[in-house]
Amino acid sequence: MSLNPNDLYDVVAINAASMSTQLAGLPYSGPIGGVRVALIKGQWVAFPTHEQLEDAMFDMVVAGRIVDNDIAIMMVEAEATESTIELVRGGAKAPTEEVVAEGLEASKPFIRALCEAQAQLAAVAAKETATFPIFLDYQDDVYEAVESAIQDELTKALTIAGKQERETELDRIKELTVERVGAQFEGREKEVSAALRSVTKKLVRKRVIKDKVRIDGRGLRDLRTLSAEVEIIPRAHGSALFERGETQILGVTTLNMLKMEQQLDTLSPVTRKRYMHNYNFPPYSTGETGRVGSPKRREIGHGALAERALVPVLPTREEFPYAIRQVSEALGSNGSTSMGSVCASTMSLLNAGVPLKAPVAGIAMGLISDVIDGKTEYVALTDILGAEDAFGDMDFKVAGTKDFVTALQLDTKLDGIPASVLAGALTQARDARLTILEVMMEAIDAPDEMSQFAPRIITVKIPVDKIGEVIGPKGKIINQIQEDTGADISIDDDGTVYIGATNGESAEAARSAVNAIANPTMPEVGERYMGTVVKTTNFGAFVALSPGKDGLLHISQLRKLSGGKRVETVEDVINVGDKVHVEIAEIDPRGKLSLIPVVEGESDDSATDES
């Protein structure tokens, strides 16, 4: 409805959504309070402005609710900033797991105040909570019949480590269930299917809670088998393959001129983005056929999370003046392809020659809880499978360097999780992240040389008042430079010129041409150029030595190019567009240049004498 451009509106929307639901008379276990807290100069600041975030070390959005006089966390979206590494180098404390845990605690008083304010308003303005019919997925009699019919077979199937083998056996058990109880519940087939899923969930959780053993036989903190390699696609500027168990991610990096960066038109003050991360989750990654269309919510979200994890370690525009397109392709999926994308992208970027400030790895944590002896017990799982995500209570993704967290995301199926439990999961995730980083660094531990197929981009700084001269009327000069050298040129408003070419020679030729206009040096007698004829007259030809610098090659000098014969008209020897090797013979007081041709085999002295 209304926006102050300096304020962020996302957390306001969280509270507004909670408040409207509370007032609507719907069954609701809220209210929910949402707050953004940022670590600025060693202090956690609530509801920071865009201006304040420029100095932030860490930025975090937290949502939660009041449970038993404590704040239970329901959602977290957090990230380090582009300034984090520089602030750490300047002596600031890095956003480690302990610091992030402090931020969760710092958010609690604000969440409590927001929830209490909503409750006060609801007490006087909310509609009476309406009663709605409840449609259960299944009745108790169906659940009991399914459980007694297939519990033994199902328990055994859930110990199969391989996903495909396990899924095949579970499909067989599903058919077996229908055979055994289908006739008893004719017309209630959907209830049978739902009850089977519920029994499966119960058995998976029971094994983890009581035996501390997971579906594939791993312990609570165990990682799946890891592998990493680079240079998978020869023609791409950079590529890498990262595998964690059956999750397999291909990362592909391409580089281009900064003028190819994404232009943004949003409510945020950020108007452009040079690092663009796309995540693709094709049907074949889960062994399915299906339509591949535009990106869906999940793909957009996973790409955004991986992007946030890597932005803090990217070089600055000045250090690496390239637009970067990063693509994460899920080739196989069985748990946390988003964090696999972070790992594959780090290696792919290094393979492309991007000088990252530090490598980043990611891991997905899970949580299973149960009430034991009247007390809720929580068990955190490292490197969760797809089934553990589906049957568990939490998906907690954490990415970072060996020294600090760069991004994290939490969503939960519970009404909330104690902050102390999340702090423990963060510490557990750090151990896994360090192990993954070791495997990645065995594949590539420093930026490679840039691919021969990647553009070479150099920068030139010119006076702002010279920008118009470099561009020329209707772009004539800059277009001519690009045509002559084969380079691409773009100019920022501050006078920074970006020159990109497929080889260094073209880039250097373009730089020389730009400098000749904007940062000129006075020509000297005796300097030689390969010029281009731009105009002919009855007394000679004007030759462009560089953009903006021409000289006259008099008709009397053309005899050297015609074997010593008299030249009647200039066009008998040279025409507009011809290339001619010339030397500056004289510079008059007004700066005008007189040229002589350089004939192959002719010494410098003889050329000068004849002039």
pLDDT at 522: 64
Tell me the per-residue pLDDT of 182-200, one tens digit each, with 9 for 90 and over. 888 888 889 999 999 999 9
pLDDT at 236: 94
Distances in Å between the Cα of 144 and the Cα atoms of 139, 203, 204 are 9, 14, 17
Tell me the per-residue pLDDT of 523-573, one tens digit each, with 9 for 90 and over. 778 888 888 899 888 889 999 887 667 899 988 888 888 877 888 888 888
Walk across the sheet containing 226-230 and list its strands. 226-230, 238-244, 247-256, 323-332, 275-280
Is the predicted pLDDT of residue 213 greater than 80, yes or no? Answer: yes
| Number of domains forming the structure of the chain | 5
Report the share of the chain in percent with pLDDT over 70.
Answer: 97
Q: What is the mean pLDDT of residues 329-353?
A: 94
Distances in Å between the Cα of 422 and the Cα atoms of 218, 245, 379, 393, 458 are 21, 25, 11, 12, 46
Residue 564 to residue 399: CA distance in whole angstroms: 76
Domain finish residue from 180, 211, 242:
211
- My answer on whether omega of the bond before 321 falls inside 30° of 0, hence cis, is no
Mean pLDDT of the chain: 90
Judge whether 400 lies within some domain.
yes
Nearest to 367 by CA among 410, 304, 313: 410
pLDDT at 607: 40
pLDDT at 302: 93
Compute how many other C-beta atoms are within 10 angstroms of the C-beta atom of residue 363: 28
Report the share of the chain in percent with pLDDT over 90.
Answer: 56
The CATH number for 597's domain is 2.40.50.140
pLDDT at 606: 42
| 328 phi/psi in degrees, rounded to 5 | -110, 120
Residue 268 to residue 277: CA distance in whole angstroms: 19
Contacts of 502 (CB under 8 A, 6+ apart): 453, 455, 456, 486
Identity of the amino acid at 538: N
CA torsion angle 288 289 294 295 (round to 10): 0
Is the predicted pLDDT of residue 144 greater than 50, yes or no? Answer: yes
Q: Are 55 and 73 in contact (CB under 8 A)?
A: no
Same domain, 281 and 425: yes
Same domain, 473 and 426: no
Same domain, 38 and 55: yes
Same domain, 420 and 360: yes
Contacts of 374 (CB under 8 A, 6+ apart): none
pLDDT at 270: 84
Judge whether 220 lies within some domain.
no
pLDDT at 110: 96
Same domain, 395 and 255: yes
pLDDT at 291: 83
Same domain, 488 and 345: no
| 283 phi/psi in degrees, rounded to 5 | -60, -30
Q: What is the mean pLDDT of residues 250-267?
A: 90
pLDDT at 511: 86
Judge whether 2 lies within some domain.
no
Distances in Å between the Cα of 397 and the Cα atoms of 14, 56, 311 are 21, 22, 16
Domain finish residue from 68, 98, 125:
125
Is the predicted pLDDT of residue 327 greater than 90, yes or no? Answer: yes
Reported as half-sphere exposure (CB side, CA atoms, 13 A), residue 289 has a value of: 0
pLDDT at 601: 63
pLDDT at 605: 45
Q: What is the largest CA-CA distance in the chain?
A: 114
The CATH number for 57's domain is 3.30.230.70
Judge whether 291 lies within some domain.
yes
**What are the helix (H) ranges across 40-131?**
50-53, 84-89, 97-125
Same domain, 181 and 33: no
pLDDT at 526: 85
Tell me the per-residue pLDDT of 298-308, one tens digit each, with 9 for 90 and over. 999 999 999 99
Identity of the amino acid at 379: V
Is the predicted pLDDT of residue 120 greater than 50, yes or no? Answer: yes
Domain finish residue from 211, 246, 262:
211
Same domain, 438 and 292: yes
Contacts of 568 (CB under 8 A, 6+ apart): none
Q: What is the DSSP string of 371-402?
A: EETTEEEEEEEES--HHHHHHSSEEEEEEE-S
Same domain, 94 and 191: no
Q: What is the mean pLDDT of residues 103-131?
A: 94
Q: What is the mean pLDDT of residues 425-446?
A: 94
Judge whether 216 lies within some domain.
no
Q: For residue 489, what are the domain limits?
A: 455-520
SS3 223: coil
Tell me the per-residue pLDDT of 481-515, one tens digit each, with 9 for 90 and over. 999 888 999 998 888 899 988 877 888 888 888 88
Same domain, 200 and 107: no
Residue 480 to residue 386: CA distance in whole angstroms: 57
Radius of gyration (C-alpha) of the chain in whole angstroms: 34
Residue 59 to residue 520: CA distance in whole angstroms: 47
Judge whether 345 lies within some domain.
yes
Is the predicted pLDDT of residue 609 greater than 50, yes or no? Answer: no
Same domain, 539 and 408: no
Judge whether 349 lies within some domain.
yes
Same domain, 54 and 187: no
